Amino acid sequence: MKAFMNYKNLIITLVFIFASGCTSVSGKYDGFSDVHDACYSYIYGYNNVAKDYEKALKWCSMASDRGWASSQVLLAELYYLGNGVEKDLSKALDLYMKAADQDHSHALFMIYYIYNKKYPEFSSDEQKKIGIVCLKRAAKAKYKKAVEEVASLGNI
């Protein structure tokens, strides 16, 4: 029975792959990068797809739930900017934190930016310290905006 279930799962997966016609940029289907690609495409109107924040929210949420850092960042930006959703800084920060835990450089920079540049009057001293740590991590990873910010701040 167990062998039948594995065979059945394989057949279902293959049917899904062929029916969807989805392959990733590498040519190998992994299911997740295609979801991220849809997320990106609907946000920016990329790959001959019209911008559609409602569809972007769907696809970005799906990829974010699967732990894709880049999709977490894109979903965070939807909440941060209020594109297609109600603006929600708390949700945006939560998503940036999840991506930062995976060393996503832009997420690291955004945590710094929110805590230390955009809303310093609402940030605690602890949050500002976290922001500086994130900025340093992003700069260490050679993220251009972070490198420039560290240079402009001098000795931090």
Q: Which contacts qualify for 110-119: CB closer than 8 Å, 24 or more apart?
A: 110/73, 110/76, 110/80, 112/138, 112/146, 112/149, 114/80, 114/89, 119/89
What single letter denotes the amino acid at residue 23?
T
Task: Provide the CA 11 distance to its chain's centre, in angstroms.
Answer: 31
Are 56 and 42 a contacting pair, CB within 8 Å?
A: yes
Are 83 and 95 a contacting pair, CB within 8 Å?
A: no
Backbone φ, ψ for residue 139 (5° rounding): -65, -40
Prediction pTM value: 0.78
Neighbours of 81 (CB within 10 A): 12
pLDDT tens sequence across 80-137: 999 999 999 999 999 999 999 999 999 999 999 999 999 999 999 999 999 999 999 9
Assign 140 a pLDDT band (cuts: 50, 70, 90).
very high
What secondary structure does DSSP assign to 1-16, as a single string? -HHHHHHHHHHHHHHH
Dist CA 120 CA 131 (whole Å): 10
**Residue 85, phi-psi category: left (phi > 0), alpha (psi -120 to 50), beta (remainder):** beta
pLDDT at 143: 97
pLDDT tens sequence across 26-78: 333 345 578 889 999 999 999 899 999 999 999 999 999 999 999 999 999 99
Q: Which of 52, 130, 40, 144 is CA-nearest to residue 93? A: 130
> Cβ contacts of residue 29 below 8 Å, gap of 6+?
17, 22, 23
